Chain A
Amino acid sequence: MCDFPFFSLVCTGEIFELKAELNSDKKEKKKEAVKKVIASMTVGKDVSALFPDVVNCMQTDNLELKKLVYLYLMNYAKSQPDMAIMAVNTFVKDCEDPNPLIRALAVRTMGCIRVDKITEYLCEPLRKCLKDEDPYVRKTAAVCVAKLHDINAQLVEDQGFLDTLKDLISDSNPMVVANAVAALSEIAESHPNSNLLDLNPQTINKLLTALNECTEWGQIFILDCLANYTPRDDRESQSICERVTPRLSHANSAVVLSAVKVLMKFMEMLPKDLDYYGTLLKKLAPPLVTLLSAEPELQYVALRNINLIVQRRPEILKHEMKVFFVKYNDPIYVKLEKLDIMIRLASQANIAQVLAELKEYATEVDVDFVRKAVRAIGRCAIKVEQSAERCVSTLLDLIQTKVNYVVQEAIVVIKDIFRKYPNKYESVIATLCENLDSLDEPEARAAMIWIVGEYAERIDNADELLESFLEGFHDESTQVQLQLLTAIVKLFLKKPTETQELVQQVLSLATQDSDNPDLRDRGYIYWRLLSTDPVAAKEVVLAEKPLISEETDLIEPTLLEELICHIGTLASVYHKPPSAFVEGSRGVQHKRLPGSAGSADSPDTGSAAGVSEAPPAVIPSQGDLLGDLLNLDLTPPTTSGPPPAPSSGMQMGAMDLLGGGLDSLVGLLHLGGDLGGSPAMGAGFGAPPTAMPASFPPPVSGGLDDLFDLGGSVGMPMGAYSPPKSIWLPAMKAKGLEISGTFARRAGVIQMEMTLTNKAMSIMTDFAIQFNRNSFGLAPAGPLQVLTPVGPNQSIEVALPLSTVGPVMKMEPLTNLQVAVKNNIDVFYFSSQYPISMLFVEDGKMERQVFLATWKDIPNDNEAQFQIKDCHLNSDAASSKLQGSNVFTIAKRTVEGQDMLYQSMKLTNGIWVLAELRVQAGNPNYTVSTVS
């Protein structure tokens, strides 16, 4: 015999054996067989073949056997729905059993069987059980409603179970109340707008009464539910707080944390000058500290929450620094969290102690922990000015240990200290330079390079140092490459005479030999800056840097508020809103702290905090600490706007300052006929390169024709041109739905404005819209906002914002858009044409010189000419009118009585269109030639 008889079976022959045993007459043998089946099920073997045999064992008065069979049913019923029906009778019978334990067992199990046919049979027994005389059955039935709702929400509503569940909140038994609250809370979560959990002072009072009497778990359900309530005024808020505070002494940490959540939330409503407010603050600290003597896993949860609480209300724990000191035997996850909180609590009063601790930690074994400790020293320096000197000397001590990762980490933080306190600690640079060779991590290398570049004038051999990095330029990470480029440019601006060669070398490395667009772009920017206007370059590159702010990783205030509402839950552990890790509709509602009722004058009460109190400048994280493109960013910037190139006197000829290397640059600036594909587009204008359809001009002119049709819309104000609505979808074709609409560009957003008219006899609901792929990648930016049903003969106006990031496919004609609209009746298709002017973006104004050069470089056969007839505007009026539609006039010239307007516009996909508009005074006809 094997040691564990139930865990030692496999192969197919055994299924057969089990079958025989299950059908045996002997009760004991049957039971053993069912046990074996369950054991196989546990380890993941498929024993579904035994379904009928196991179900046959269900009719027994042996409770233990019954429970085993039920367990089997819960697992396999879903895969064998027809067979599962066989069990229904027994369930229904069991729900009538005189023994309340069996009644509850039956209703509990039935709720776990997710088979539609069975759920139908469940309704009647459940209804009875909800009104059962025994509280044990009622509390089980309450949870069963939640189960049923999860399977078939509609059924639960139709059967009126929700009302019965609401009634249970007034039940005499506290556990029934708690389970009803739990079930209702869960159901309410999936119906965000329903008024299911109708929390009013009466129900709150009932809940608070039950709170004193129910089990620890029930207390958690009730407290979590209370946290969703918003008291009417500060008095109600206070009275709830008073009744919740005793929970802070509960042995169960989850009860304590949920109570903390309620208090933290309701405290927002209390006026700060109230005595009770101060008392409450004092009462919160001890239980939070006590949580730290719980088991490590709970400590971790507690610490993650304390981290939030400390950010929201630092005053609560400001005197409790010592309890966050790391113990040698703490698990690593507890150590790291404690460290975080220590930094948050560090202040002038306790900084000496904190520093001594941090120094101690920096000698520990765990690499992550040591790094974080070193980083923490740097953060203390930035946070507490008085301690900066102490911190720097501690860091220098640590650098002397020569432990590789300690040195690297120390250098990274010293860089930040330099930024915070310029011209104070630069004497240590020499020590740092000694460790140059040992740096092998990108962040540390980048930091060191930044230091060398920034203080190039004080480091005698700065050029040699930087040159040494340059040797392996291509093997470095982007971060280091970018930093090296910037540092060398700085060096050049500081010591132009000796380093000309070096700067040329790095610029050509960056622009010619690199595949990285960020690096290339930055290289070009510097190159142009240096070549056109070295003075301006100096102003830009060596500009005064903004001071680094003290808190580098504060959670963004609105997120923090939301997380405070989720204290104790997973959201507070992950420091992410529930929507970030929960699928489906659950938890997507964003919770907010209630606003303060009284004293609006106190600066940081309630949600007013975000508005009245300027939040400290938040720097996201160490990585992109210095997001200053032109000077010091350590990571590739995600958005790089167009360079603020000096606008004056940019002559093509003058570009040739730095010699041969520039030729390529100049060459790139010529916009060839293959306009979209040229990288210079990306480099020079920050527009994404796009492939351009070969037959572009004709349809464009078609579109332009539309736009330049100025005569027709004389009365229009300065806004963008938008054609009048036309009928896109006649009612005849769409079962009574008529859609007319137009396109417009409003405040930089393309909108599709539609009027939906219901000409049918029935109500229309559930509108949705979709676009086919089109030439400019137009796609709805959001769902169609038709919230109310449209009744017969009713019509509504909708504006649908569009984005241009959808899939692209060339259409014929170019501006054709195929649309599908769906409602409760059917899906309808129609197509419409949008005016090209809608796609002209706001930054379509081209530099004059560039315009000139571009115009010249576009081959003549890309040009299209046509005439606009009957336009009675003069050139200025036309120009300002066109400007409203993002057609920018670059220059105006008067030749032989003709006004020539040179105009540029840019399409959403980055293609530039240039136009010349010839207006002859007295002649109502304009001549337009466009090139692109």
Chain B
Amino acid sequence: MIGGLFIYNHKGEVLISRVYRDDIGRNAVDAFRVNVIHARQQVRSPVTNIARTSFFHVKRSNIWLAAVTKQNVNAAMVFEFLYKMCDVMTAYFGKISEENIKNNFVLIYELLDEILDFGYPQNSETGALKTFITQQGIKGQTKEEQSQITSQVTGQIGWRREGIKYRRNELFLDVLESVNLLMSPQGQVLSAHVSGRVVMKSYLSGMPECKFGMNDKIVIDKQGKGGASDEAGKSGKQSIAIDDCTFHQCVRLSKFDSERSISFIPPDGEYELMRYRTTKDIILPFRVIPLVREVGRTKLEVKVVIKSNFKPSLLAQKIEVRIPTPLNTSGVQVICMKGKAKYKASENAIVWKIKRMAGMKESQISAEIELLPTNDKKKWARPPISMNFEVPFAPSGLKVRYLKVFESKLNYSDHDVIKWVRYIGRSGIYETRC
């Protein structure tokens, strides 16, 4: 299991060091600094073995988190734990920075003591942790409160405490998708997929039992068989095929496996209910058509057309097209029909920004790039043209059908809950080769 956990700043100075196992010595702290943080070469692997000691590291801004072990640990678990550790710290004191870590080091030690015991991760749900690890110190808990804490930390529903009360029962569902695309210069889709998340903010009283439904093809088809055949045909069009999905630990997985129904008791506040991935029938919100022509050795002509491909009534926002330029670019002239375009020498790219664009529209940019003659034999790698945008629909076609709330002990029903649903589609890695 995890033998020790260290946090370093960008210089390699130790900010936090907690050793759990006897086989990890103080020299391990230095070994990582010397061999990884101060290494001349770029990091080639997130797992490093130095003198039979394995180091796992992740970086958050310029802070290094490293877990150390001498055993054959579960590597996936170690990384998941490091991410979780980051989440917990962020939930307690915001951004992970050198300053915040130094100011909160006592808290961090307290957390590390609680969520990692002898190198075994323990309950790390912030909801539960916040009930008994506070920076104010625990004062005057009654016996009932204490046992409530412990039963929550160890209990089946470790993510929610009992006795939550809201005057207004309200919940927010955000369907957040990122569309990933890799397109060939000829407009052929090399790969495309949507990775989506359903994020829920729940402000519900008691221990509500929730049921979430969406236009999952498997569910709809199953229902369609029972109902009228024409209805099945209709709904079949609207349903989507989900390649795979994963759920927050509150969701009863065995129930999903057998009935494909998503039922759970939600944590209080914001959390990620599910993640999913689709690859079929994706609505690609934009198409990029590049045209790059090399005119002699010292000039490039670039023309890029973007086309929006969704309902004209919808508006895409924060559109940004990034056209890479060679390293030996000396000057660029740009003309664009819409928005603003600028050559950014430091980023080796022309950045074209458009604030808003409606569906079924088209826009164009053309640029002349002058090059300095070089004798560098290495050809310019021609990185792909990438795009960023935000659209108010789910490119996968996912629709929330219902989210039912049942709380039998308290006197509010599903109808009394105010529910909000929002869809946001963003660009993931949306690239067109040129």
A: residues with CB less than 8 A from B are 3-4, 6-7, 35, 38-39, 42-44, 62-64, 67-68, 70-71, 75, 98-101, 104, 108, 111-112, 114, 134-137, 139-140, 143-144, 146-147, 150, 173-176, 179, 182, 186, 212-217, 220-221, 224, 243, 245-247, 249-254, 256-258, 286-287, 289-290, 293, 295-298, 300-302, 322-323, 325, 327-329, 332-333, 353, 356-357, 360, 363-365, 401-404, 566, 568-574, 578, 581-583, 586-587
Contacts and interface: CB of A to CB of B under 8 A. Distances in A.
A293 B150 CA distance: 35
30 contacts: A39-B105, A63-B137, A114-B22, A134-B147, A144-B118, A174-B156, A175-B155, A217-B122, A246-B253, A249-B247, A249-B256, A250-B253, A251-B246, A251-B247, A252-B249, A254-B76, A254-B77, A256-B246, A258-B74, A290-B243, A293-B275, A295-B58, A295-B83, A322-B191, A568-B76, A581-B54, A582-B72, A583-B52, A586-B71, A587-B72
B230 interface: no
Given A38-B109, A570-B75, A573-B47, A217 B244 contact: no
Contacts of B47: 300-301, 570, 573-574
Interface of B: 1, 13-17, 19-23, 26, 29, 42-47, 49, 52, 54, 56-58, 69-77, 79-83, 99, 102-103, 105-106, 109-110, 113, 117-118, 120-125, 132, 137-138, 141, 143, 146-147, 149-151, 153-156, 158, 182, 184, 190-191, 193, 195, 243-249, 252-254, 256-257, 272, 274-275, 277, 377-379, 381-384, 386, 429, 431, 433
Contacts of A581: 49, 52, 54, 72
A508 to B, nearest CB: 39
Give the most central of B146, B253, B378: most A CB within 10 Å. B253
Q: Which 9 residue pairs of A and B lie closest in terms of their CB atoms, listed nearest first?
A: A286-B244, A136-B150, A254-B76, A246-B257, A246-B253, A254-B77, A578-B72, A217-B121, A297-B46
Contacts of B22: 114, 150
Contacts of B150: 100-101, 104, 134-137
Given A101-B150, A582-B71, A364 B45 contact: no
Contacts of B43: 333
A215 B191 CA distance: 36
Given A6-B102, A135-B154, A327-B182, A251 B272 contact: yes
Nearest to A566: B72
A606 B132 CA distance: 50
A571 B77 contact: no
B72 A296 contact: no
Given A147-B118, A570-B75, A42 B52 contact: no
B42 A332 contact: yes
Given A293-B195, A581-B49, A67 B110 contact: yes
Which of A137, A220, A332 has the most chain B CB within a 10 Å cutoff? Answer: A220
Contacts of B80: 216, 252-254, 298
Contacts of B102: 4, 6-7
Contacts of A186: 1
Contacts of A140: 117
Contacts of B56: 297
Given A325-B182, A570-B69, A574-B49, 14 more contacts: A4-B102, A42-B16, A173-B154, A215-B122, A215-B249, A252-B80, A256-B76, A289-B243, A290-B245, A290-B246, A297-B46, A360-B433, A364-B381, A586-B71
Contacts of A587: 71-72
B149 to A, nearest CB: 7
A404 B377 CA distance: 9
Contacts of B151: 135-136
Given A220-B74, A251-B248, A42 B105 contact: yes
Nearest to A219: B249
A572 B76 CA distance: 10
Contact of A246 (B21, B156, B256): B256
B18 to A, nearest CB: 8
B62 to A, nearest CB: 16
Nearest to B431: A328
A290 B277 contact: yes
Nearest to B134: A64
A333 B272 CA distance: 28
Nearest to B70: A583
Q: Among B117, B156, B379, B382, which residue has the most Cβ atoms of chain A within 10 A?
A: B117
A863 to B, nearest CB: 55
A258 to B, nearest CB: 7
B327 to A, nearest CB: 10
Contacts of B13: 43
A403 B105 contact: no
Given A289-B277, A290-B246, A42 B15 contact: yes
B253 to A, nearest CB: 4
A295 B195 CA distance: 13
A332 B46 CA distance: 11
A224 B78 CA distance: 14
- Of A114, A258, A581, chain B has the most CB atoms within 10 Å of the CB of A581
Given A38-B105, A224-B74, A333-B46, A146 B118 contact: yes
Nearest to B153: A136
A3 B329 CA distance: 45
A365 to B, nearest CB: 6
Nearest to B56: A297
Contacts of A243: 254
A295 B54 CA distance: 20
A249 B105 contact: no
Contacts of A356: 184
A298 B79 contact: yes
Given A249-B253, A403-B377, A328 B105 contact: no
A297 B72 contact: no
B148 to A, nearest CB: 11
Contacts of A570: 47, 54, 69, 71-73, 75
Contacts of A254: 74, 76-77, 79-80
Contact of A43 (B14, B42, B156, B248): B14
B12 to A, nearest CB: 12
A253 B103 CA distance: 32
Contacts of B20: 112
Contacts of B137: 62-64
Given A182-B120, A582-B70, A212 B275 contact: no
Contacts of A298: 76, 79-80, 83
Contact of A42 (B14, B70, B103, B247): B14
B54 to A, nearest CB: 6
A15 B318 CA distance: 57
Contacts of B103: 4
B123 A175 contact: yes
Contacts of B75: 301, 568-570, 572-573
A311 to B, nearest CB: 18
A174 B377 CA distance: 64
A333 B45 CA distance: 6
B378 A251 contact: no
A309 B44 CA distance: 23
Contacts of B76: 253-254, 256-258, 298, 301-302, 568
A250 B246 contact: yes
A212 B253 CA distance: 8
Contacts of B132: 101
Contacts of A114: 22
B374 to A, nearest CB: 14
Contacts of A360: 433
A216 B125 CA distance: 10
A903 to B, nearest CB: 52
B20 to A, nearest CB: 8
A300 B45 contact: yes
A221 B256 CA distance: 22
Nearest to B245: A249
Contact of A296 (B46, B105, B256, B381): B46
A257 B75 CA distance: 10
